[in-house]
Amino acid sequence: PKNGLGWNIRTASEAVAQAFEAAVVRLINSTVDYAATDSVRRFGTGEEAFDDTTNPKIYSLAQCTPDMTATDCRSCLEDIVGRMVSGNFVESADCGDFFSRMGGRVFGVRCNFRFEVYPFFTGRSLLQLPGPSPSPAPTPPVIEIRERSKNKRSAVLPISVPTTILVFAIIAAWFCSRSWRRRLARKTLRPKNSPDEVQSFGSLVLDLQTIRTATDNFSEHKRLGEGGFGVVYKGDLPEGQEIAVKRLAQTSRQGIEELKTELLLVAKLNHNNLVRLIGVCLEENEKILAYEYMPNRSLDTILFDAERIKELDWGQRFKIINGIARGLQYLHEDSQLKIVHRDLKASNVLLDSAYNPKISDFGLAKIFERDQSQVITHRIAGTYGYMSPEYAMRGQYSIKSDVYSFGVLVLEIIAGRRNFGSYGSDHEVDLIYVTWEHWTSDKAIELIDPSLGNHYPVDKVLKCIHIGLLCVQPKPADRPLMSAVNAMLSSTGTVRLPSLSRPSFWFQEIGATASSGANSEQNPHNSRKMSQNEQPITELEPRWVM
């Protein structure tokens, strides 16, 4: 994969360089561990006191995409550190001793870390380390490179024994606290009156025996798929109705609150482009939701399959785009409740036998007051390839966050491939970036999925690309409402669409600024302003390694 490296041109003075390097290594180790063990966000920030009047503290941030496991997250971070130090990013002569720099960042496709001598993130540090002891033991080598399986290299960042003990103590305390909270949560999430609450839904309640009979006791041959939440089975009710049974695992991240949210919302919503809830069952500690059965499963199973994608001609793709847009307009503007979905993606769009789309999975959805414009949360949940910049970076979400996700979906449907950053993508370039480059070069037609051949109306496809780019504008205020999107989609003849600004990209090329006249005196921290999706990165001599 393509990885980037940026660093501050300033270095620690010779008098403190060795201590500074050791402190950076300790902090990175601890922050990596913290991020890897954060089961919700795979995110960690840290700070360490440093005995220097000019730079009294060092700050760090480590992050992986939330869908990664703890092991994968740690391995990803170790890998990019090891490859950076071993010279796989740049020649060592370019950056010298990386950890003696006063700041730097390395990022890969699914993980990144950064350190600075000033606070560059909002909020308190999640991890705080004390400074080095007055008489530290001789500092060990900053990094050791060890061979790993499949010829991969990992960076082993050794730290002093006292600091190791401290870090392990912090992590052990965190695990104990987390374990205690989980035990408490299990007691809280299974209140005695839960079945009574469900009974209030009357005809929506299904007894467990009916579900068992419908799925042949959750038989393997009835299994439709499996995810982090549990397993989905096909079921056949006695009256002949086909259903999809979503059986949440006991260890599912989708707890009782998310289930209640989905139950309450889907039961009250009624639109042709929203999946219909058939029933719910909470007997014997089971958490089961039953929906109308969609023969063509989810959009991603067709759109990203080399053979099945041929089933989708342009007419069907346009119908899917239209249907998703109408469903979102209903959620945002037309229903009695104003709802933000928060996890709109190809796998949450189901297709019936005629490829009509239905939006599903409302576990993360939020109800807004009619006069409420946005909410800020510290619990970032969703899928990175579809997240708007303001939500992923600052926890701010609104109906315009869903509009952004819709824009990504439109571009994916037209191009027939995933946006870079969404799970399972094997493409190394951001689809939004590629689309913008082609659009501004009058080559947008080259983006269209080759499986369509020449069987599509060029003007309508170009209009959809324009709408997709309009929906992924960096500022929420510049994205249209879904009612405006539907008006644009249904318009005939020549219609003047709003002008476009350059979108934000999760990963983009970083050109060296030295040649453009930037200099370190312009900013005390030697940084430049970068796009929201990119996250600020220490400069002045960044490198994007191709």
Give the CA distances from residue 268 to residues 125, 203, 271, 274, 354, in Å, rounded to whole numbers and listed in that order: 41, 13, 10, 11, 25
Helix (H, G, I), strand (E, B) or coil at 323: helix
Strands (E), 253-298: 277-281, 287-292
In this structure, what DSSP letter does residue 59 have?
Answer: E
Please state the separation of Cα 307 from the chain's center in Å. 27
The 3-class secondary structure across 100-133, one letter per residue, is HECEEEEECCCEEEEEECCCCCCCCCCEEECCCC
**How would DSSP label each residue in 49-63?**
E-S-SS--EEEEEEE
- Are the C-beta atoms of 268 and 338 separated by less than 8 Å? no
- Strand (E) or helix (H) holding 236: strand 230-236
**Residue tagged active-site, from 343, 361, 402, 449:** 343
Structure tokens at 425: 């993508």
Strands (E) across 277-323 are located at 277-281, 287-292
Is-catalytic flag, 313? no
Tokens for 457, please give them: 């109306």
Please count the other Cβ atoms lying within 10 Å of the Cβ belonging to residue 479: 25
- Answer yes or no: is 460 a known binding residue: no
Burial of 181 (0-12, 13-18, 19+ CB in 10 A): exposed
d(CA 115, CA 20): 12
Consecutive H or E run containing 226: strand 223-227
Query: What is the chain's alpha carbon radius of gyration, rounded to the nearest angstrom?
Result: 26
Whether the CB-CB separation of 446 and 470 falls below 8 Å is answered with: no
**Residue the block writes with tokens 């089933």:** 311
Binding residues for ATP: 246
Q: Residue ranges for the binding site?
A: 246
Name the residues annotated as catalytic: 343
